[in-house]
Amino acid sequence: MDRLVEARKDVDAAISVWGELIPERMGDRIRYATLKGSVLKRWDSIVDYVPVISDLDIHICTIKDQPIFPHDRDGFRYALETTGLYEERVKELRPGNIHIPRPQIVKMESNREIWLPERTDDTLSLFGETPFREEESEADCRKRDHEALMELDARLKRMPGRIIDRIGLEYFRILRELCYIVSPTPVRVLSQFTGSK
C-alpha cells in the first residue's frame, strides 16, 4: 500500500466533509472559509505531507469579527459536536483510512491582511468568497521573512523551559508549536538569498 496515496484519499475525504460542515454548522456566522497549505499541493516525497503531524489549514473569517462559536457552554458543546461529526463523516467516506486529517482552524482577524492569500491557485474556497491581498514585492517579503527569523531565536531559547514539565503525549503540543514556528524557516532563509518569492 502506498501510504501517500492513501493519505491523499483521507485528505480528499476530509476536505469534502469540511466543505459540508462549514456551511451546515457555521454558515450563519462566517463570511468565508478557505483551505490553504500543503494539502493542496503535489506531494513528491514523504515529508510533503506527514499524517497526524500535517494538517488541513482552514482560515475562517466571521461576520463582524464574532467568534466562530459562542464563548459559552452551548458554543463549547456545538464545537465538540462539529468535530465529532467531522470524524464520523470521514470514517464513513474512508472506512479504511490510515488517519483522520487534523484540521487547524485559524480565525482570520480584520487587522491581519498579511494572512490573506495572494493568488487563487494557493487556496480552495470552502464557503463564501475569499478576498485576496495585493501581491507582495520581493523586497517586502524578504524583509518580513527576516523579521520572523530574528524572532525565532528567542522562542527557541525558551523551549527547554517549556518541555521540562511535559510527558508522553504532552510533547505533541510542543511539537505542533515547533512545526508552526519552524516549518516556514527554510523558505524564509532562502528568501534572503534568492531573487524570487
Here the CATH number for the domain that contains residue 122 is: 3.30.460
Residues 106 and 174 in one domain: no
Q: Are residues 59 and 113 in the same domain?
A: yes
Residue, of 166 and 195, whose pLDDT is higher: 166
- Report how many domains make up the chain: 2
Note the pLDDT of residue 157.
Answer: 79
By C-alpha distance, which of 103, 77, 99, 96 is closest to 17?
103
Are 118 and 173 in a shared domain?
no
Per-residue pLDDT, 138? 75
Based on the domain organization, do 116 and 152 belong to the same domain?
no
For residue 133, being part of any structural domain is answered with no
Q: Which of 106, 128, 150 is the last residue of a domain?
A: 128
Domain that holds residue 21: 3-128
**Same structural domain, 116 and 168:** no
Average pLDDT over residues 60-89: 94
192 pLDDT band, cuts 50/70/90, is: low
Q: Is the pLDDT of residue 111 over 60?
A: no
Residues 82, 17, single domain; the answer is yes
Q: Is residue 20 part of a domain?
A: yes
Instruction: Compute the average pLDDT of residues 109-122.
Output: 64
Kindly state whether residues 14 and 99 are assigned to the same domain: yes
Are 115 and 142 members of one domain? no
Q: Is residue 197 part of a domain?
A: no
Average pLDDT of the chain to the nearest whole number: 82
Domain contains 196: no
Judge whether residue 191 has pLDDT over 70.
no
166 or 69, which is more confident: 69
Asked if pLDDT for residue 103 goes beyond 80, the answer is yes
One domain, residues 119 and 153:
no
Per-residue model confidence (pLDDT) at position 195: 58
